[in-house]
Amino acid sequence: MTSPTSSEIEELLRFLTPEERAEVEGLLATDTTIWSPLPGPQTLAYFTQADITGFGGAAGGGKTDLACGLALTEHEVTAIFRENGTELTGVTDRLRTLVPGITFDRLNVARFTTPDGKRRQVELGSFPNPNDETKYQGRPHDLIIYDEAANMRESAVRFLMGWNRNAQNPNQRCRVLMCFNPPTTAEGRWITKYFGPWLDKKHPNPAKPGELRWFAVDPATGDDIEVPDGRQFVFVDGERVYDFNPAAFNSTDIVVPKSRTFIPSRVTDNPYLAGTGYIATLQSLPEPLRSQMLNGDFSAGIEDDPWQVIPTAWVEAAQARWQDLYPKPEMDSTGVDVARGGKDNTVIARRHGMWFDRALAYPGAQTPDGPTVAGLAIAAARNGAPIHIDIIGVGASPYDYLNTARQHVIGVNVAEKATSTDRSGRLQFANQRSQYWWQFREALDPANNTGIALPPDPQLLADLTAPKWELRGSTIQVESRDAIVKRIGRSPDWASAFILALIDTPKMQVARAIGYGGVQGGSLSTYDPYANM
């Protein structure tokens, strides 16, 4: 809610007696209020004690206004980010309305004094390209705002949160505000997982709007884990320990959970837009945009890119078929995608027929060398299942160790020439990477009725729906790993492991039982290709 204009004030003063007018003018002269929140969701978001607040979920709910209001009334040093700098015009226009005369320097930083006498700083930023976020590294902000966060790369958002602090004033509260509508592309799915208790209808423990939940990072997986409250703890042998002696641990070993909440806001919560016809504009949108923007429906269909390799609906159908099995069928294949550093994971996928078990994921820091990865792969395999591992780059070392250990390991170089065509026999592949991705697509295609069942993990869904493809003549070219990382800010580790696990290599005992081998001297030989394993 904004202060009334001077003409509106003058119109009201006409109806007052001279004494009342003098009293009101005296009050107005001492009023230093720049902005106050609208009743309802905006007020709830303004006063929440959450460290990280998600706000919005629909168009017209006052997201940008809340961002500007917090920066001008509650915080000293603020950063407001959009994915592209050209999208910050609405923010600067609103700030200049609230603080006439505000100016930004060549670095997009404004320093000014608000009517309450407090010095404040607002910085505007963007990171449209991979690693652009590093430009803001080391610059502390006690309020970080991501405007339209669902359009941003998760890796960049998390990176910049590392500087959510006030270096000068220890009493200044620090927090993060993420404003967003439901994602309209597969790249934005991370926001639904990040605020899963509020946005994911399948979440096992849903949360109410404005309810606080606490999260920490599990060092064993690198994933967010929900914890009961904000108490500090340490991990000892993989278990959380709350009663500990701080002097016995390094400060970096002590985990401090961060609280999150999500507060939905829609155009109907904003009286300034209620009478403008904006609701009719949103009602006229085609589905699923209408449900997303008008009602904030996060379950409404996310539009697939027309060149997405695997349609989202196919993955969701395979995940809906999945049920945990006890006992599990015989294991037929494993796939290993080795971490390439940074925040990548080493992921092991296990296939039993066309039923895939839950993935085993290990942060790159826990798999620093070939012997470690080889040991994890051996421990995961059962029933003589072949181990398929990508040997490009970091995968070469664990492949060598697995060979030395006389394991049934198949090194896969996805850059090599393809070995088959698509199911129709008419289309070829640019390389084995394209071939294996397309074969996974064909396995998921409902028309092929393979019965494939995938574990219902949102990370697997996001990874499998990440790559795009193009047709060059009659040749299918699937987007490279590097191109995917550049576009979405992360590597599709989970999908890579599952795709490797789909490769159908005969087991040693099966090959030997049927006399698998080659033709030598014009007759079927007893040649054993696995004799040296």
Mean pLDDT in each 10-residue stretch from start to end of the chain (533 residues)?
Answer: 52 67 56 78 93 81 88 95 88 90 91 90 92 91 94 90 90 94 78 90 89 88 86 87 89 90 77 58 53 52 78 93 93 91 82 96 83 93 93 86 91 92 91 96 94 93 92 92 84 93 86 52 42 47
From the number of C-beta atoms within 10 Å of its C-beta (0-12, 13-18, 19+), residue 175 rates as buried
Q: What CA–CA distances, in Å, run from 310 to 91, 336, 358, 478?
A: 37, 21, 20, 11
Fold held by 312-502: Nucleotidyltransferase; domain 5 (3.30.420)
Predicted local distance difference test score (pLDDT) of residue 359: 94
Of the candidates 472, 455, 473, the residue with the CA atom closest to the CA atom of residue 464: 455
- Look at the alpha carbons of 180, 185, 191, 196 in this order and tell me if their dihedral is positive or negative: positive
Class at the top of the CATH hierarchy for domain 41-227+256-295: alpha beta
Of the candidates 52, 54, 94, the residue with the CA atom closest to the CA atom of residue 181: 54
Q: Buried b / exposed e across 506-521, counting CB within 10 Å, b at 16+?
A: bbbeebbeeeebeeee
DSSP state string for 24-79: HHHHHHH----B-PPTTHHHHHHH---SEEEEEESTTSSHHHHHHHHHHHT-SEEE
DSSP class of residue 447?
A: G
Instruction: State the pTM of this model.
Output: 0.64
Predicted local distance difference test score (pLDDT) of residue 269: 57
Cα–Cα dist 15/8, whole Å: 12
Partner residues linked to 258 by β-bridges: 215
Q: Are 390 and 336 in contact, with CB atoms under 8 Å apart?
A: yes
**H-state helical runs in 331-431:** 370-380, 396-404
From the number of C-beta atoms within 10 Å of its C-beta (0-12, 13-18, 19+), residue 385 rates as buried
- Domain ranges for the chain, please list them: 1-30, 41-227+256-295, 312-502
Predicted local distance difference test score (pLDDT) of residue 7: 56
Predicted local distance difference test score (pLDDT) of residue 217: 85
Partner residues linked to 259 by β-bridges: 214
Which residue has tokens 């049927």? 514
Cα–Cα dist 10/318, whole Å: 65
Cα–Cα dist 243/234, whole Å: 9
Cα–Cα dist 142/172, whole Å: 7
Quote the longest CA-to-CA distance of the chain: 117
Predicted local distance difference test score (pLDDT) of residue 207: 95
Residues 6 or more apart whose Cβ sits within 8 Å of residue 360: 347, 348, 350, 376, 380
From the number of C-beta atoms within 10 Å of its C-beta (0-12, 13-18, 19+), residue 137 rates as exposed
Which run of H or E residues covers position 226?
Answer: strand 224-227
Nearest 5°: the CA angle 202, 220, 312 is 35
288 upstream amide cis, omega within 30 of 0: yes
How far, rounded to the nearest angstrom, does the alpha carbon of residue 423 sit from its chain's CA centroid?
33
Nearest 5°: the CA angle 334, 336, 342 is 160
Predicted local distance difference test score (pLDDT) of residue 18: 72
Q: Each residue of 178-192: pLDDT tens digit?
A: 998 888 777 788 898
Cite the beta strand spans of 328-413 per DSSP E: 333-337, 345-352, 355-356, 360-363, 387-390, 409-412
**In a 3-state reduction of DSSP, which class is residue 160?**
helix
Cα–Cα dist 473/454, whole Å: 33
Cα–Cα dist 78/314, whole Å: 42
Which residue has tokens 């007759």? 523
Q: Are 64 and 91 in contact, with CB atoms under 8 Å apart?
A: yes
